[in-house]
Structure formats: C-alpha cells, structure tokens
Structure 1
C-alpha cells in the first residue's frame, strides 16, 4: 500500500507541478459573439502606413499585415477614415520570445487634430520579462486628460503568440466597452461622473509596435533586448463600423454619416449596444475577478482622492 501511495504521489508531482506553477486556469464563459455581427475587411482597404513602411509587410492579398519593431524602427498603420463612435476590432498575434519593453498598441486617438485636448481609447499589449508572457493594459483619455490616465491591467488567459485573438472596442454615447475574444474586460459608462474624461471627438484608429523601454516593464526595469529582434506582430480580420467624419473636417462632430454597411446592425444608436447583455455581464465579472491585477481606482498612492467615476 505504501509503495502504491508513493508512486501515486510521485506521478502527481511530476504531472501536476508544471500546471500548478502557472496558477489556476480559468475557462472563459460563453458570451455573445459581437464580432460576428460585422464583416471583416482587408487591412489595405481600411488602413494606410503611418510610419516604418519598410517594417510593414502586407500578406494574403491585403487581408493581413505584419508590423515589425527592430533596431532601425517600429512601425504602424492608421485608418483611412475618421470615426465618431462605432465598433472597432482586429485579430492580432503577438511576437514570441523575450519581448520585455515591446508594446503593441491598438487604439483610437485624435492627438493629430487636438494636440492639447485630445481623446484616446487604448488597448496596449505590454511585453513581459518572462518568456511568452504579455500583459494587457486598457486606458482612456478624454478632453486632454493625459496627466490622469485611467489604466487597468490584466493577465491573459491564453498565449497570445500562438494564434490570433480578437481585441475589440465599442464606443458610443452610452458606454465604452473593451473586449478580448468577445469577452468584455472593461466597461466605462458615460454618466455625470465620467463626463470629463469620456472621449467625445472624432478619432482615427491606429495599430503600432514600438520600443517602450522607458516605462512598459516595471517602470523601465527591463528594456527591449534587440538580440531577440525582429519583433513581428500580425493583424487582420479588421471590423470597423461606425459614424464616419471626413478627414478634412475631422474637428467637427456635426458632419457624420453612418457606414454604408450598417444596415442590420448599429453600434452607434441601436438598442443592442446601449448596455451589456446578461452573458456579457457574466463575462465582464469573470475577467475582472479572475484576471485583472491593477486598477487605477485602487491605486491610493497615485490618487489620494478616489476619482469620481470609481464610486459611480
């Protein structure tokens, strides 16, 4: 009996220890597939080169693009259209290996038009000092609130370097929702408490990869190690539907027309997009309970007085 017990314990130690060392694995709940309501478009149809053109490679007849960071430069894409509200999503696969200090950003901004009073809605994927590990950071700026960012950070429940995963943003007058593989990870409700920081002006969509050695990993403790370069991220399956504003008049919010393809689904005004569904609420609570490890609302060293939207 003792021999059998010893063999069982030894087997369990060998098999179970690697799993336990990574911490518990939480299976994501079933949620509404919001991305399936919108048709994907080729990267070349929706985006153009922002910078680092030699580090951008178009693939699959324009459907996908690789953007690269190396010793010479980072690279990035910007939307051909400017939007005032809508749904924005991309399937992204992140670089493998040691990626400390590398940042892949998928975000909306109007800093080119409003340099002193700009808005942003940010997904930032931060390379980690541990191999194959990335951190997801979300943030918003409204009306130039750059000194008071509203960051939240999450550990991902999958390896983002092995296959494509969907990162999505819903933005309308009711709320902003960040989703990963259709699971909401953060909701910013537009109310009186959040009105001063709520993005309110037309924005372009960006995807960039760049060197953030000075802040991205523990305040710059682990800079980019170019021995492991190039760092290549892939993206595609772009879904971009919303209220279009001409680039020549992007400083005005009055001139706005809905995307022609918004015939059966409307992320701007439709009732389906004013609040989270029951399934989405379950998913939001799951993500924030199991995977969020930082919220500015709980950072008392940074905010001596809790920001008003945290108590709303």
Structure 2
C-alpha cells in the first residue's frame, strides 16, 4: 500500500458475531446446449484444518472509544453502542478509521463482512501503518480485500514492508474458502520481533519470519491500526481495465469484534521502556508469549493447507517482475 492508500483504507467491528466453522464451498457452472440440456461442473474449494481460536483470547474493544474517523463524512457510521461500524464507498468518497493508539507489536483483529454484488475496483483494507509519523520511511502490514473483475469473487491480498521499502512489493494473493459477503469473518495480524502472521478465521495463511535476509525491510516502528474502503480502480484492476461501476453503489462493508492487544506505544516515553520486553512474559502475551513467537504444529498444518490449496500468487515466484528475487525468497 502506498502513502495515498494509507489515507483511504480501514475496517472493523460487530457484536453478537457467530463464529461459523468453515464449510465446503462449491462452484456450479451451467453450460446450456442447443437442445436445452446443461452440464453441471462442481468444484470443491476445500475445508481448512481446525486451528486454535486465538481471537477468543482477547477482549473486544469499543469502536467509538478506540478509533477516530479519518475521512468519509457520513459514509462512516458507528452503531450498536459503539461496538460496530459500517464504511461505504460511493461516487463522492470512501471512508476510513484509525486507532487512537500506536502499537509497538501485538495482536490485531477485525471481523469483516464485505459488500456483495459486482465489486470490481473496490478495496476493503484492514492494516497497520505509521505513514502519519514517518511519511518517507514508513512501515506497513496489509490485509487488502480486492473486489474482483470477472468472477465477482473477492480476492485476499497480503503485503508488508518496512523502512519505506515500498519498491519491493511483497504481495501474496489467496482465494477465500467461504463467501465473505454473507457472514462476518475474522482477519488477524500477529506482529512482533519474531514474525508476522496473517490469519483468516484463525487459520494462518502467511508467515514472515524476521530473518537476517529480510531484517532491513521488517516493520519495526510503532504503527496505528486502520480500516478503510476506497476506489482502487487504477491500482487493483489491471491499470483501470475494470473500474468501479458506481451504478451498484454504495458499496458497504460491516465491521465488528475489534481486538488490539500488545504494547500501546507512549510517544512521551522516548526511552522506549513502555514497550520493553518482560523478563517472564505470559504465554498469552502477543509480543513475547510462547503461544505467539512461533506457530504450533496445528497452525503449521493450517498454513501448509492455505498455501497449497488457496494461494494464487506469490511475489517470490514472480520472475517476470524481478530479475533477481528478493533475498528472503531464496533463503531457506
């Protein structure tokens, strides 16, 4: 995500959210012949392995207390006593919120229900950034949900960069194994000095380990949490080939179950002690707790399933984009 996108993204919240176990999704294609007969092709998208519900470990925060609206006027609405929000995109504007605190590592999650129908060019993003403090040298960790141009299916894109390393895109794209427009689903970021993990409904889909090969581009400065909806036609649809069709506007994303746990950064504490490591962290500490510094065997199985069954693009395999792949791609 570039700087301009940072001021046009953000998402979150919903109480009374029912967690639904993943189910098999099927794609039905009907081919009609000249004689009126049709052939049905059924494709199973798969069922992920079970995984620990990390999102059950942390309390849900208040949207109106912990976030500030950053743009969108009436296109951003808070309801359910401050625990839920809706953000909309129309011809006039998108909408977005940002957390009032910056965090130096932690656990960050949002439950999101996406707009239905034709959504080409629409992007709903849940992400972390510090471009407001470091405009020329910022860090970022992104969930970007991309309205798709032909099949009308949403695509999940993850990305990250640190210290302004925006020229090296580290995008990976995934199919979702559920319909994200009918129910709320959880999108979670674990970020600490050990690794970054992207999880969907508590299933890890991507892990970025903080190794020497990537350390110079690893996000390391305190970041705020954002959620936005915006028009990404020139960026997300092959140079504007499939722009947003405002005949179908407004496009509205519903947000709920905000969780932010970790080290809230105190800008007045220049010593950094407010975010220093504990000598004996709890196992539930998302910064250094044993349950968050590395994946469990169960989580590794989920990660392998997501990457083998659902991933459709990785920058590490894009030799057309890079004459020389980034160093972390060739390091075991």
* 1:149-298 equivalence runs, <5 A: 149-246=169-266, 248-249=267-268, 254-257=272-275, 265-298=284-317
Decide whether the 8 Å contact of 1:55 with 1:69 is kept in 2: yes
Partner of residue 40, structure 2: 17
Question: How far off its partner does 1:220 sit?
Answer: 2.4
- Quote the RMSD (CA, aligned, Å): 1.9
Q: TM-score, length-normalised on structure 1?
A: 0.89
Partner of residue 320, structure 2: 301
Partner of residue 48, structure 2: 28
Partner of residue 124, structure 1: 144
Larger radius of gyration between Structure 1 and Structure 2: 1
- Counterpart-to-counterpart distance in 1, 2:38 and 2:282: 53
Decide whether the 8 Å contact of 1:87 with 1:171 is kept in 2: yes
- Counterpart-to-counterpart distance in 1, 2:235 and 2:229: 15
- Counterpart-to-counterpart distance in 1, 2:137 and 2:117: 38
1:78 corresponds, among 98, 102, 113, to 98
Question: How far off its partner does 1:240 sit?
Answer: 0.3
Structure 1 segments unaligned to the other structure (5+ residues): 1-13
Structure 2 segments unaligned to the other structure (5+ residues): 1-36
- Counterpart-to-counterpart distance in 2, 1:87 and 1:158: 23
Q: What is the CA deviation profile of residues 5-51 of structure 1, one whole-angstrom value per residue up to 9, with x for unaligned ones? A: xxxxxxxxx99825x2xx33201110111111111112112211011
Question: How far off its partner does 1:257 sit?
Answer: 4.5
Residue 159 of structure 1: SS of its match in structure 2?
A: coil
User: Which has a greater percent of helix?
Assistant: 1
- Counterpart-to-counterpart distance in 2, 1:249 and 1:112: 17
Residue 108 of structure 1: SS of its match in structure 2?
A: strand
Decide whether the 8 Å contact of 1:92 with 1:165 is kept in 2: yes
Decide whether the 8 Å contact of 1:132 with 1:159 is kept in 2: no
What number of residue pairs does the alignment pair up?
291
Decide whether the 8 Å contact of 1:85 with 1:242 is kept in 2: yes
My pick for the range that moved more, 160-169 or 51-60, is 51-60
Decide whether the 8 Å contact of 2:284 with 2:292 is kept in 1: no
